[in-house]
């Protein structure tokens, strides 16, 4: 069975697609230059991702730092002593692109996600 998706947005660096064939909210976010993708499966992963982006944008407004790294951790890897599954470097332009193009409904915006998930050490400034 072929997966059906729709292109939501694209720029010189990123492409955002949403799956349209299964009734779920699954997103594929592809880095144009590196040709890798990562996926947001379901509504909760999308909300957590957007909330982390909002945290990074606020940190940018507070500090002026334009380059950030977003870390994604895995419970399976965390149990084995490794905390990070993978990380992506994001500029403030990347963050603003994602925030402008990954849709949240009003009820999703109002959802309270556990504070420790959003403000976890998995969102940290890139050291340069």
Q: What is the pLDDT of residues 32-91, one digit of tens each?
A: 876 788 888 888 888 888 988 998 899 899 998 888 877 776 554 445 555 556 778 889
* Model confidence band, residue 29 (pLDDT cutoffs 50, 70, 90): very high
Q: What is the mean pLDDT of residues 90-117?
A: 81
Rg (C-alpha) for the chain, rounded Å, is: 15
Question: Is the pLDDT score of 11 beyond 90?
Answer: yes
Angle made by CA atoms 107, 16, 43, in degrees to the nearest 5: 30
Q: Which residues are paired to 40 by β-bridges?
A: 27
**Location of structure tokens 């292109």:** 7
pLDDT band at residue 124, thresholds of 50, 70 and 90? very low
3-state secondary structure 23-80: CCCEEEEEECCCCEEEEEEHHHHHHHHHHHHHHHHHHHHHHCCCEEEEEECCHHHHHC
Highest mean pLDDT among 36-45, 77-86, 97-106, 109-118 belongs to 97-106
Whether the full predicted model's pTM is greater than 0.85, yes or no, is no
């Amino acid at each position: 069975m072929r997966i059906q998706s729709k292109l939501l947005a694209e720029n010189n660096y990123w492409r955002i697609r949403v799956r349209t064939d299964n009734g779920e909210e699954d997103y594929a976010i592809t880095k144009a230059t590196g040709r890798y993708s990562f996926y947001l499966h379901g509504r909760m992963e999308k909300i957590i991702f957007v909330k982390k982006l909002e945290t990074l944008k606020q940190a940018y407004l507070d500090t002026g730092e334009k380059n950030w790294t977003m870390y994604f951790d895995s419970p399976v890897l965390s149990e084995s002593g490794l905390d990070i599954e993978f990380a992506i470097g994001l500029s403030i332009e990347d963050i603003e692109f994602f925030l402008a193009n990954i849709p949240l409904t009003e009820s999703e915006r109002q959802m309270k996600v556990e504070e420790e998930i959003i403000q976890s050490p998995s969102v940290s400034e890139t050291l340069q």
